[in-house]
């Protein structure tokens, strides 16, 4: 995604950033695919997959979870109740229809609670990885993530963003040369401060890889 306006390219790093109207975007090429950051409303994203930061009961809730169910409508909850009556375990993800959202699927990913999960680092990486594997299995081209577990589950965003970016970046590199439909993975951040944290994590990941 190359935006107009005050964009610039860092020639040595395949990075593009800029501001177009009210939207802030940052893009990095990871092998043959793209890792993107945007500032905005995840329910407005027109992609194949919108990831929901769900709870284990898939019962809906506040934050991103509540917003996705409100905007997507009752069809999403109807399907999850019918297909996944036992919910979804922490570190896993399941797929449903996207209802009224501008997507083909909603993936309901259950991240760890910072306060109660001793293996929270591994579980957070598994939650992101489960969505990426599911996207490839379903032939999806585009996935947009929220910042999983950083709301009511209390995971500090600085630590969370490192796990998120490393998991996604490593996955994109792992499918380099593989006949996969996946074209880009995007993080949709709620605030400019969150965007800045994720951008720093992207830059650090690029430096180290």
Of 6, 65, 194, 208, which is the active-site residue?
65
Spell out where 11-141 has E strands: 15-20, 23-30, 33-39, 49-54, 93-97, 105-110
Residue 143 backbone phi and psi in degrees, to 5: -135, 135
User: Bridge partners of 54?
Assistant: 110
- State the pairing for strand pair 93-97/184-189: unpaired
Q: What whole-number distance in Å separates Cα of residue 31 and Cα of residue 51? A: 23
Residue 177: exposure state from Cβ atoms within 10 A (0-12, 13-18, ≥19): exposed
Q: What whole-number distance in Å separates Cα of residue 76 and Cα of residue 176? A: 33
Q: What whole-number distance in Å separates Cα of residue 59 and Cα of residue 69? A: 10
Residue 40 backbone phi and psi in degrees, to 5: 170, -165
Is 65 part of the annotated catalytic residue set? yes
Could you tell me the strand order of the sheet in which 142-145 lies? 8-10, 15-20, 23-30, 33-39, 184-189, 142-145, 49-54, 105-110, 93-97
Show which residues are catalytic: 65
């Amino acid at each position: 995604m190359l935006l107009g306006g005050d964009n610039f390219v860092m020639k040595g790093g395949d990075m593009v950033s800029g501001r177009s109207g009210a939207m802030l975007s940052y893009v990095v090429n990871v092998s043959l695919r793209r890792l993107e950051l945007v500032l905005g409303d995840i329910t407005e994203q027109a992609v194949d997959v919108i990831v929901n930061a769900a709870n284990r009961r898939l019962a809906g809730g506040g934050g991103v979870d509540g917003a996705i169910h409100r905007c997507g409508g009752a069809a999403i909850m109807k399907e999850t109740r019918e297909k996944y009556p036992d919910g979804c375990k922490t570190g896993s993800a399941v797929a449903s229809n996207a209802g009224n959202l501008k997507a083909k699927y909603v993936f309901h990913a259950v991240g760890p609670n910072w306060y109660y999960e001793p293996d929270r680092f591994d579980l957070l990486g598994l939650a992101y990885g489960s969505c990426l594997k599911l996207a490839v299995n379903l032939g999806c081209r585009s996935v947009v993530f929220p910042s999983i577990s950083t709301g009511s589950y209390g995971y500090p965003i600085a630590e969370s963003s490192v796990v998120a970016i490393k998991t996604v970046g490593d996955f994109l590199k792992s499918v380099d040369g593989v006949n996969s439909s996946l074209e880009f993975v995007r993080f949709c951040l709620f605030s400019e401060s969150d965007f800045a944290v994720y951008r720093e994590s992207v830059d650090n990941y690029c430096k180290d890889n």
